[in-house]
Amino acid sequence: MSTSNTTSSLKTALAQACTEIEATIDALLPMVPGDESVLLEAMRYAALGGGKRLRGFLAVEVASLFGADHNAALRVAASVEFLHAYSLVHDDLPSMDDDDLRRGRPSTHRQFDEAIAILAGDALQTRAFEVLVEAETSADATIRAELALALARASGAAGMVGGQVVDIRGEGRSLPLDQVRRLHALKTGALIRYAAEAGAILAGVNDSRRDAIVTYGLRLGTAFQVADDVLDATASAEELGKTAGKDEASGKSTYVSLLGIDGARAEARRLSDEAREALSSFGPQAEALRALADYVVERRS
């Protein structure tokens, strides 16, 4: 199924969604006058700095599959990108990963300063929740509350932030494979799964359709992370737009250190295939999501 045709139409769809999501983010972070303008500058710097928009695309594409309102879907996409951007700003801080480079540019605390970066991350998290519960995101308050609840569960202590702590605590000691899987399921997987599920929540679909999308999101998220470990071990900083070879330098247990490069590549492929299989009950409208499962393991950055 991974013909160059579907790959090329996925790239078109990704590029179009990227453009629309960037425009939505731009509109949702208007500049303000006064001393706090630097905060909005930093939030915009962090949120509009490019990136693949994988999470936003997932939300938009699942929402489209189920016929949800497109403008509402773009707001949900912007929201999950705000949440993702906040996590990157805080991850890059000197007391965390201490990373000077992000998406080929100075990380937010290098471009501004540490205090502004912490506060910009804080305000991006707030904005992620604010956008979800604003009336414009959905006609139905039940759906808005459900979106916010799912985001909180995916990103808080029992999700992304919990995973970040497990990651920090795991540095310098070797973790077994099941703990590495759990770490990534929390740190990266939960938000990717949420992005897919959010499209289904917005559309108000039944449980079996939502469950299929959740399974797809979980497999896709893990495949993405395994592929990320492979890229970290094999690609250059120029290709990645961020520091390469960090994992080995920091002595972290990764899929590559545990399975080897070839083993990790096979694991990513297996997970990608499982993500595709989760979509078997959907028709040709799910083709972009299927192609995305290939894309995340075949990408070069």
Residue 26 contacts a second copy per CB under 8 A: no
Nearest residue to 187 (alpha-carbon basis) of 278, 252, 94, 269: 252
Cβ contact 90:82 at 8 Å = no
**Helical pair 70-91 and 4-28, crossing angle rounded to 10 deg:** 80
Nearest residue to 278 (alpha-carbon basis) of 222, 191, 205, 210: 210
Residue 8 contacts a second copy per CB under 8 A: no
Residue 148 contacts a second copy per CB under 8 A: yes
Question: What backbone phi and psi angles, to 5 degrees, belong to 188?
Answer: -115, -40
**Between 129 and 282, whose beta carbon lies closer to a second copy?**
129
Residue 181 contacts a second copy per CB under 8 A: no
- The span of 88-96, 211-219, 224-232, 291-299 binding a second copy (CB under 8 A) equals 88-96
Q: Give the integer Cα–Cα distance in Å for 160 and 298.
A: 25
Cβ-based neighbour number of residue 194 at 10 Å: 28
Question: What backbone phi and psi angles, to 5 degrees, belong to 56?
Answer: -65, -45
Measured from the CB of residue 124, what is the shortest distance to a second copy in angstroms? 9
- The span of 30-38, 60-68, 207-215, 280-288 binding a second copy (CB under 8 A) equals 30-38
Tokens of 34: 């006064």
Tokens of 111: 């471009």
* The binder of a second copy chosen from 93, 101, 214, 258 (CB under 8 A): 93
Nearest residue to 137 (alpha-carbon basis) of 77, 54, 82: 77
Residue 17 contacts a second copy per CB under 8 A: no
Greatest Cα pair distance, the chain, in angstroms, is 54
Residue 156 contacts a second copy per CB under 8 A: yes
Task: Please tell me the chain's helix, strand, coil percentages from 3-state DSSP, rounded to the nearest 5.
Answer: 75, 0, 25
Residue 36 contacts a second copy per CB under 8 A: yes
Measured from the CB of residue 228, what is the shortest distance to a second copy in angstroms? 20
- The span of 59-67, 114-122, 231-239, 288-296 binding a second copy (CB under 8 A) equals 114-122
* The binder of a second copy chosen from 168, 177, 237, 261 (CB under 8 A): 168
Give the torsion sign (CA, 143, 144, 147, 152): negative
CA 149 to chain CA mean position, Å: 17
- The span of 63-71, 115-123, 226-234, 240-248 binding a second copy (CB under 8 A) equals 115-123
* The binder of a second copy chosen from 43, 58, 74, 297 (CB under 8 A): 43
Measured from the CB of residue 289, what is the shortest distance to a second copy in angstroms? 27
**Between 18 and 133, whose beta carbon lies closer to a second copy?**
133
* The binder of a second copy chosen from 12, 16, 71, 114 (CB under 8 A): 114
Residues that bind a second copy (CB under 8 A): 32, 34-36, 38-40, 43, 86, 90, 93, 95-96, 113-116, 118-119, 121-123, 125-127, 129-130, 133-134, 140-142, 144-146, 148-149, 152-153, 155-158, 161-166, 168-170, 186
